Each structure stands twice: as C-alpha cells, then as structure tokens.
Amino acid sequence: MARTSLSVESAAVKSSAADSIQIWIAFFLRYLELRLELLGLEAREAGVHLLIISLLLAGTLICFAGFFVLSIVFLFYFMALILHWSWGWCALLLAAGLFVIGIVTGIIFTSRIREPLFPATLAEFQKDRQWLKQDTPDV
C-alpha cells in the first residue's frame, strides 16, 4: 500500500514538473510572438521610411549631378577665359574642389543616417535585459 501512494506522489510530481515546463514554454512563445509582432510593425514603418529616403536621395543626386555637370562646363569656360590656362589645369583644379565637396557631403550624410531603425524594439529589449538582471540571482 505504501508503494502505491509513493508511485501516485511520484506521478503527481512528474506531472506538475511537466505542467510547469509547458507553462514556461507557452510564456516564452507568447513573449517571442509579441516581440516579433513589434518588430514586424516597426519593419513596415522603417521600410516605408527607407523607401522615401532612398527616392529622395536618388532624386537629389540626379538633380545635383546635372547641376554639377553644367556648372563644371561653365567653370571650364570661365577659367580658361579669365586665367588663360589650358583645359587640363582647369580640370585638375575643379576635380580637387569637387573631391573636397564630396568628402564634406559624405561626412554629413553618414552622420545623419546613423539613427537606429528600430528604436521601440531596442528599448524593449533593453528593458527586458534590465529586468532579467534584477530578477536573476547571482551564482
């Protein structure tokens, strides 16, 4: 009789452990589902944002390229007329100027594009990390 009650208690412990593991897995999957849902919402917003930025950038680059081509033609003519230089020296001076302008605009562009794409998701992961650090006992 003692053996039967022991086996019943053992089965109850095993079922409660299995239930506990199932509950933890369910909570983890729900957590993962919510985080991926948030990431999906932000990805849609970021995708539209990146599309708009890329179209604006392409349009701006095309317009500036046309402007620079026509400006360079005018500056070639103007420099050759005023300085009486050959076209090679005028081209070298203009290339140096455009190189400096390209470096400056590249630095400005990279400083503007460093904004994180998924701020809400990153903030939530940071909160989760802080929460886990508080609740995890030191071993």
Domain ranges of the chain: 15-122
CA-based radius of gyration for the chain: 33
Contacts of 98 (CB under 8 A, 6+ apart): 68, 72
Contacts of 38 (CB under 8 A, 6+ apart): 120, 121, 124
How many helices and strands (H and E) does the chain possess?
3, 0
pLDDT in tens, the chain (139 residues): 445 555 555 555 567 877 888 888 888 888 888 888 888 888 887 788 888 888 888 989 999 999 988 887 888 888 888 888 888 888 888 788 889 999 998 888 887 777 767 778 888 888 888 888 886 555 5
Q: Is 123 left (phi over 0), alpha (psi -120 to 50) or beta?
A: alpha
Instruction: Confirm whether pTM is higher than 0.75.
Output: no
The predicted structure's pLDDT at residue 129? 85
Residues in the chain: 139
Q: Rounded distance, CA 124 to CA 26, Å?
A: 20
Q: Rounded distance, CA 95 to CA 72, Å?
A: 9
Nearest to 35 by CA among 126, 121, 114: 121
Tokens standing for 108?
């400005």
Tokens standing for 73?
């033609």
Tokens standing for 137?
């006992």
